[in-house]
Structure 1
């Protein structure tokens, strides 16, 4: 123990934000160390971030020439909580970067820190772990020259940095609540051996530390028993520390979003997790609360994650609520709670007593800790974020309903039979959960619909299904034949008697009815649009124009006999190419896209994917200008673009 004349030094610490590989930022407590040539990160914090590691072989030499081998490095973005500072740093990974700082907590109640000062480490006076060491490489870029505040004699000073105001300097012994000596944080072989032998000792004393005694006193004062026989207790809060606990919802939300992405990738884990959380709700071990902006209750949001234990005979998966997650001030809920004494019997004694009995009985208390109720005032400190996201429960169906629904028709699919069956089951379950029933199921693969009741099948007697959301108004204009898996054009062409008179209105009505959203017969429909333009230029609707139109109208029913392959790709393609052609003339311009696909067996398919055309304006335009208009027609992004116009290419 040091003498009372010894002074202690507060080292420069700051709470910074560190980004993971997905760009999500998490708070970390860092030591700003000008005596370190490298940057260091603790092994536990790197595992928490789940960032990519790089192999390395680095020897680190510390105080007293103590050597440490570093096997891995990581690269991470470090940024400020209070400003726009950001930099990319390389960190060496160590099991522990340094001891707790400060080594003991310091009483700062009499310190006069100016109002409005944003501290880099709001909990600089509380002994806590360190996640990072930021070395000399960027050390001097952290601080702003000449920006210092002196707190007084025997007290440290404040230095402004990009992370906020850093508290550092000498603290006289009279300020400290106890006295100590700082030593190197290297754990040597002798210390490890001492720990090993201490585990072998039989503890006969019941001497409590001041913190343990305070914790037990709080427990005795708060514990009570309800009318149902259940116990209720309060959290053993350290009021001095809990007031410094910062904001926790942002980091809990980021980790929850990361959890949802993980559950989407693992259906089995997702089902187990949802069942576990459902049991929590069903048993009343958690309840839904509504939090508003006006809510003045101090809350701490705990992130949660799954832990799998395959050896368990009851629950393979348990959800762990992370009360050690740092808040924005660098203080976690666990940091704010008092540590109580060990009051249970020594394990050695329990086993020895069991060996002295003829009959042995073993049992496990089901959900033991959840049977103890929490005081209502402390429940907000154990808040979590959770939702029964339909996208998590039914990921394939959710995506299909977002992207593949037109009015009340679902038009979707997959590339495999098993995936298609799973998609159908998910769609049915998801829609039923919302009170909707899917019927008229149709597929070009019979295996997909094997379990569907007969009354829910939609294949008509003629073996075709109209892809039309409203029978009275044709919108898609296509008919699908599942047995042959082809699409047919379905235009309603009114029959006109030879003696009937034509009018602009009748011609416009028929041309407008040739609805072809994909442009599969765009070239033919363009002929009709050109005729309409030509007709509007004439004052007399009869003559040659009438004869030309009657000939065009006579051939229109042929469109209904055209069939097109529905699937535009070969099975299991390894090459997919999109080729877009554009051209123009004095009358019209347009573009068409062809899809080419090949597989490993040499099968190749080239098929028209879509086309789009427009008639040229009545005002005469130059061919180069029309070529540019044709190239500007919006289609899907092209991989290969073809044109014979040099002005377009230039």
Structure 2
């Protein structure tokens, strides 16, 4: 499915324009249930401050944060042979060049070949996102987020004719509106009937989070606490393979035209991203002497929120 896409990135044409309305007219409708799955996901846990803070609608993965595993009370056995093989295979793909770490994404090869392109869903969900944000006067601000990412080389515009949409995997996306700004969420868990989602096809990795119980004790036992925010952490880790980039594609409306883009980095919403980021940080720490500074990275408890 992807062999014909393995082309050097500098040869990819950019700037193709397809009429947005005309393409939508040719796109089959999508059920309201599937649209709501992306735009109005059900909350997995109650958030008592929701009435006061809009960002309370965002999934913060608190269930995992307070799970038995994160509290230092594992409920599973040691890493399986499959985990060891997959982690080692991923480790062997890590490279450092041009000031960035590059990786190959860990896939279940039998599953990823069966993931549909989902271009129909991506187009119909984009249609709803555009309508909702234009009513609120926020669509230009939404596009600006992607324009900045393009300037930073995080995403790149590609030419894909409608006839070739099915050769790529398109990820639906939606905004998350906060009190002061907005961010973008990509729904890699989207799946059609009797189909495989992109997240199901990816190896999610093993739990590399620091022991939360140990972290809480450190808060009580030490005088100082170090907190840090890694700016656009996921977007700093680049994809090595062309075929991985072609599985991270998305549509964007600009004016009256539809534009095609793809990510050159891992992204938030992809279930292996947390594992990849944690592993790369610890991999980076291993390159330095085992002093108190590198130990901070090795024992970090990382919580990803939006």
TM bucket, shorter chain: 0.5 to 0.7
Task: Decide whether the 8 Å contact of 1:238 with 1:336 is kept in 2.
Answer: yes
Of 29, 42, 60 in structure 2, the residue corresponding to residue 24 of structure 1 is: 29
- 1:163: which partner in 2? none
Q: Which residue of 2 aligns with 1:636?
A: none
Q: Which has the higher strand share?
A: 1
Q: How many residues align?
A: 207
SS, match of residue 279 in structure 1: helix
Residue in 2 that maps onto 1:304: 173
Tell me what 1:326 maps to: 191
Deviations 1:510-540 (A, max 9, x none): xxxxxxxxxxxxxxxxxxxxxxxxxxxxxxx
Alignment correspondent of 1:48: 37
SS of equivalent residue, structure 2 residue 247: helix
What is residue 245 of structure 1 aligned with on the other side? Answer: 115
Query: Is the contact made by 2:39 and 2:174 (CA closer than 8 Å) also made in structure 1?
Result: no
TM-score, normalising length: structure 1:
0.29
SS at match of 2:217: helix
Residue correspondence of structure 1 range 451-466 to structure 2 within 5 A = none
What secondary structure does 2:102 align onto? strand
Contact 1:212 1:338 in 2 (8 A): no
Name the Cα RMSD after superposition: 3.6
| Shift, 1:271, TM fit | 3.7
Q: Is the 8 A contact 2:107 2:202 kept in 1?
A: yes
Map residues 311-390 of structure 1 onto 2, 5 A cutoff: 316-327=181-192, 330-377=195-242, 378-389=244-255
Q: 1:296 to 1:213 in 2, by over 3 A?
A: farther
* Structure 2: distance between partners of 1:299 and 1:328: 19
**TM-score, normalised relative to structure 2:** 0.58
**Aligned equivalents of 1:225, 1:297: Cα separation in 2:** 32
- Give the structure 2 partner of residue 5 of structure 1: none
Rg comparison, structure with higher value: 1
Structure 2 residue aligned with 1:221: 92
Following TM superposition, by how much is the alpha carbon of 1:250 offset from its aligned partner in structure 2, in angstroms? 1.3
**1:37-436 equivalences in 2 (<5 Å):** 47-48=36-37, 202-203=73-74, 207-226=78-97, 228-267=98-137, 269-292=138-161, 298-310=167-179, 316-327=181-192, 330-377=195-242, 378-389=244-255
1:201 to 1:223, Cα distance in 2 relative to 1, 3 A: closer
Q: Which has the higher helix share?
A: 2
Q: Where do 5+ consecutive residues of structure 1 fail to align?
A: 1-22, 28-43, 52-94, 96-194, 393-650
Distance 2:216 2:39 in 1: 40
Distance, in Å, in 2 between the alignment partners of 1:386 and 1:349 is 44
Unaligned residue ranges in structure 2 (runs of 5+): 1-27, 45-65, 259-306
Higher relative contact order (CA 8 A, sep 6+): 2
